[in-house]
Amino acid sequence: MCGRYIIISGRKIFATFELMRSLNDKNIPYLTVPRYNAAPMQKLPIVVKRQGGLQTLEAQWWIIPHWSKTGKPDPAFPSFNARADRIATSKLFAPYFKARRCLVPVDGFYEWKKGEGKERYPMCIRMKDESPFMLGGVYSVWKDAEEQEHPSFSIITTEPNELMMPIHNRMPVIIPADSFEAWLDPSNNDTDALTALLVPYPADKMKAYPVSRYVNNTRNEGEQCLQPVSEEA
């Protein structure tokens, strides 16, 4: 599961990934971040390739299928995550996996580790050098009666790596930079090769540390969300 993440600096993401440098600043909605506690149902930046070129879209984190009659999420079916082991056969996600894949720029994500009894406490997971990275996702574009577009997306999750195993039984898929082009190409329908990317990211490149329960509330924002604390705090 991936239910919360961090995106600190759009400009840093723009500078880090060569893929992004062809974009015009005016078309980059993530320049308005930081977001230290991004949560499902919020509008967040994604990177896609459509209409012949690379674009960034401000999209709702909870995929709404293009065929929806209401354009509203179904609370009985939380579609902000898509499981890697089911995505190629899922009635909802399979069409988007074949032709509408996206990258989700992040600086880290949160997961809740089980403590004593039923208690859980939040952990922040980042790259060891705290560089930004890209999660693998799928997206949809629902159109209202006026033909106005409403993009939405889901983050793909996979099995945990060695770092994540003590924390949670799922982790988001992280797409390596050398696979960005293949991942975003809507004409690439080689689902076997794409599925091969849906694997745990190398644990030795990542770190995890406990953070304050302040992050538990999605209304809370700011650098306090990702500051390290002791596991007893």
Active-site amino acid positions: 2, 111
Taking alpha carbons only, the member of 111, 95, 78, 93 closest to residue 6 is: 111
DSSP SS3 for 6: strand
Distance separating alpha carbons of residues 34 and 28, to the nearest angstrom = 13
- DSSP annotation of 56 reads E
Q: With contact defined as beta carbons under 8 Å apart, do 99 and 183 qualify? A: no
Q: With contact defined as beta carbons under 8 Å apart, do 58 and 70 qualify? A: no
- DSSP annotation of 202 reads P
- Mark out the alpha helices in the chain (DSSP H runs): 10-16, 94-99, 180-184, 191-195
